[in-house]
Each structure stands twice: as structure tokens, then as C-alpha cells.
Amino acid sequence: MLEVKDVVKRFGGLVALNKVSLTLKENELLGLIGPNGSGKTTLFNVITGYYRPEEGKVFYRGEEITGLRPHLIVKKGIARTFQIPKPFGRLTVLENVMSAAMYGRKAASRSEAREIAMDWLEYVRLKDKADVEAKALNIVERKLMELARALSTGPDLLLLDELVAGLNPSEMMEVVKLVRKLVDERGLTIIMVEHVMKAVMSISDRVFVLHRGAKLAEGRPQEVSRDPKVIEAYLGEPIQV
């Protein structure tokens, strides 16, 4: 479904991504992990068109999408959330999510968009906050709203950037379950960047480890967590599964 081929991204002298390749199958949940500054968010930005890579290509369903502008990538069916949530502060939660439905892949009419938005808000359990201005939400609610907003664009592929960071363990587990359900019940394909190992390892079909801008390891969660290279990269941090 998605193929990233030998992507190189530099910032001045710093090489953020060094010939990274990645393939993704339909209806898969890929966990993307790696220490701080390993290039996870950069990779997201390359896939979703925020950065144009210096080298390499990105294909989506066989079609090249390298360097397409972000809003066109959304129209292809790829949506994302941001590491630090970016709500449209002075729009209501409903309008936030509706905007995605109206401008996203389906280009829904206002009334359709309203329905789609309410559905997804219900899914993330934010329905009762629909008429609140987004800037009044707390961090958890912001993250959930962003998830609903990304979903409302009607994506097949969803990129989630540290969705559960900052949540307490019980909230985290709930959100993780929601994400898994998206794959299982709605047939979405998801790449999930996470710092919290427990969350990633528990739900991912496959894990991809980035280290200093390059692939370190790839495979099933169990295998990867035992990989000595990975353990070393995390400075001997024991990885719990």
C-alpha cells in the first residue's frame, strides 16, 4: 500500500533521514519507534508532504506522491495527527472535525460533514464537547479531537504521531484499544509513532525501529524487543512487552 524508498532528508549539515525504506501492507498496524531525534516525525512529514526529501521516493498504492503538497496527499487518502496537537483554537470541536470532512477526501457537503463529524466524535467519546471552542480542551481531549479530525478526512492510511504520550495508563489503554479497533473493524492501515513502548508493542502487527535517521530493525514486536541492537540504542533500557 505504502512504499518509502531510500528517502534522504537533510537539514543543513544534519542528516535526519538516511536512505530509509519502508513498505506497508493493507490493513496493517505498524509501530514506528526510536529514540528522540531518530527521525520518526521527519519521516511522517516526508510521507504527508510537509517536507520534500532530497533523495528517494514515496509511493502510495503504486502512485508516486513524493513532494506532493499536504492537502493533495490528504485527498489521496492519507491523514495524520501531530505530535503536539494543533487544534483550530477558535473553532468549535465540531467545526474542527467538520472542516476535515468537508475538505478531506470525500469533500462532503455541510450536512454530510456534520454527520460524519458527529459519528467520529462519538467514536472518540467527545460528542458532548462538540460545541466547545477547541482551545478550551485539555491535552487528552485535544489529542482525541485530532484523531477524530484525521479520521473525518476519510483516510485509508492514518499516521498517528505520539497519540498517547502524556496520558495516564488507563486513558492510554483505552485509546490504544480504539486504535486497534480502527484496524480490525474499519479496515484502516495505521502507522503509529510512540515513545511508550508498552502501547506500541501491545497492539502493533509489526514494529519498525529508526535510529539516527536509519533503519535499525524491523519485525514482529517480540523479535524486535529482543534485538540487541535495539536494546543498545535505547541505552539498555529494558523493553517491556
* Member of 40, 80, 142, 211 binding another protein (CB under 8 A): 80
C-beta of residue 78 within 8 angstroms of C-beta of residue 157:
yes
* Choices 84-92, 179-187, 190-198, 211-219 (CB under 8 A): range interacting with another protein: 84-92
Alpha helices in the chain (DSSP H): 40-47, 70-76, 93-103, 110-123, 139-152, 169-186, 197-203, 221-226, 228-233
* Choices 76-84, 172-180, 196-204, 220-228 (CB under 8 A): range interacting with another protein: 76-84
Question: Mutual orientation of helices 93-103 and 139-152 as an angle, nearest 10°?
Answer: 20
31 touching another protein, by CB under 8 A: no
CA dist., res. 223 & res. 203, Å (int):
14
37 touching another protein, by CB under 8 A: no
Is 75 or 127 the residue whose CB approaches another protein more closely? Answer: 75
132 touching another protein, by CB under 8 A: no
Which residue, among 100, 45, 88, 48, has the nearest Cα to 72 in the 3D structure?
48
Kindly tell me the sign of the dihedral angle through the C-alpha atoms of 213, 178, 174, 220: negative
Distance of closest approach, residue 85 Cβ to another protein, in angstroms: 9
DSSP state of 237: P
What are the two backbone dihedrals, phi and then psi, of residue 77, each rounded to the nearest 5 degrees?
A: 115, 25
Distance of closest approach, residue 182 Cβ to another protein, in angstroms: 18
Task: List Cα–Cα distances, 241 to 114, 195, 201, 203, in angstroms.
Answer: 40, 13, 6, 10
* Choices 31-39, 46-54, 120-128, 190-198 (CB under 8 A): range interacting with another protein: 46-54
* Member of 20, 58, 74, 147 binding another protein (CB under 8 A): 74
Partners of residue 4 on adjacent β-strands? 22, 58
C-beta of residue 59 within 8 angstroms of C-beta of residue 2:
yes
Question: x-or-dash pattern for another protein, window 49-68, by CB under 8 A?
Answer: xx------------------
C-beta of residue 24 within 8 angstroms of C-beta of residue 67:
no
131 touching another protein, by CB under 8 A: no
* Member of 31, 39, 53, 104 binding another protein (CB under 8 A): 104
* Choices 15-23, 57-65, 77-85, 211-219 (CB under 8 A): range interacting with another protein: 77-85
* Member of 2, 7, 100, 167 binding another protein (CB under 8 A): 100
- The residues of the shown chain that bind another protein, judged by CB under 8 A, are 48-50, 69-71, 74-75, 79-80, 82, 86-91, 95-96, 98-100, 102-105, 110, 149-150, 152-153
